[in-house]
Amino acid sequence: MNLNNSIEDLVSAQRRFFKSGTTRDIHYRVTQLKKLRSALIAKEAEVIQALRTDLNKSEQESFTTEIGIVYKELSYVIRNIHQWAKPRKVKTALTHIGSRGRILPEPYGTVLIIAPWNYPWQLAISPLIGAMAAGNTAVIKPSELTPAVSAVISALIKDTFPESYAAVVEGGPDTSTCLLQQPVDYIFFTGSTRIGKIVMQAASQHLTPVTLELGGKSPCIVHRDASLKLTAKRIVFGKFTNAGQTCVAPDYLLVHESVKEPLLQYMKEAITEFYGESPLKNPDYGRIVSEKHFLRLSHFLDNGSVRHGGNYDESNLLIEPTLLDDITWDMPVMEDEIFGPIFPILTYNDLNEVIATVNARPKPLALYLFTNDAGVQKQIMSEISFGGGCINDTLMHLATPYLPFGGVGASGMGAYHGKHSFDTFSHMKSILHQTNKFDFSFRYPGKDGLKLLRKLMKP
């Protein structure tokens, strides 16, 4: 059987299973989520080893950024799903006296989840949790660039669920293209803006709704009153975790001219504290995912001047945490999202200049602001559009199930995590239940009806 036929058969089987109504039962959903949790726990050691194999992630980083987040998400969803799935009553308009309105969350059907390579475990399993919680069936397409993790996901899902409920399809771009041609009911994609446009175009052929978790050049702004030593530590953590291969990593630094040099000194100290004097020899320092990505990143090292780092090991796909100074916006490093351990530095003197600079470019997925000034915080948060972010921290907004995570504009559409995942994978069906005990004549054609309507509905 060829690829296209096998994928068609899989999607058809999932659509039939969904139509059986089995997944609509809340107790069934909870049972499956608990089965998933047990399977994840059983596979934890394999996941850690696979992440080490594909990306050289340490056990601590794997648990912190991949495994632990998934556990927390699962527990939160299982604990709250009964409440989220209840029909929600809404108010009755004056013109609708006698009726009752409610919103009934219902699953879309069969969901396609296309996961990326940078956090290949978390960004495959987390949306799966939301899809299952909402009562959908799911097809997961892991990244071919992280084959060890892909194999673990495939084995876990195959051993835990029937293929008609949840399945993994491994493969490269041809597989993704074939999957995108199927008449699924929802597509959840995490990846680059370029591929996101292709996904959206494919979805339009079936008018399939999509969530696109993309990226962009996320600014990190350090104002003159920031607590510099702590700021440096938190920036270095956010930028160089997973060797900078994080969609919400600070992409470039905008630092007030008056505090640039002390901040850079503290950042150098933090890099040494985290990764040692020779990061390329640190067994726990992450590597670049592929030779193609390594070559792309290595060309950026010629931009500006290196203030720290700059060394690399091509044979092992390693690049040191690198700080680049004397950067201008016309340099290649500033054209697209870097997605690597290279951090360009720009300075400013006027906060309005910062706002204009960021707003002149596509809306970023994240923004990080370091300042103790409440007025500056309010100004930046209200005058710059971005997906989500932190004040006086980096990355951590991603790790809470209480905040929606998603982009805006070129950095994506839609959001998930916690209840927001349940809502994303649910259609909110509106239902009005009208009384038969009485009837209002004003709703029907006639002059008297118009007069009364004008009184009831006047502004």
Give catalytic residue positions: 213, 247
Measured CA to CA, the distance from residue 17 to residue 399 in angstroms comes to 33
Burial class (CB in 10 A: 0-12, 13-18, 19+), 113: buried
- Cβ atoms of 126 and 69 within 8 Å: the answer is yes
CB atoms within 10 A of CB 114: 26
40's torsion region: left (phi>0), alpha (psi -120 to 50) or beta?
Answer: alpha
Residue 79, both tokens: 């604990």
E strands of 48-98, at which residues?
88-90
- How would you label 48-70 residue by residue, b for 16+ Cβ within 10 Å and e otherwise? bebbbebbbbbeebbbebbbebb
- Cβ atoms of 116 and 190 within 8 Å: the answer is yes
Q: To which H or E segment does residue 114 belong?
A: strand 110-114
Burial class (CB in 10 A: 0-12, 13-18, 19+), 378: exposed
Residues with Cβ within 8 Å of residue 305, at least 6 apart in sequence: 324, 325, 326
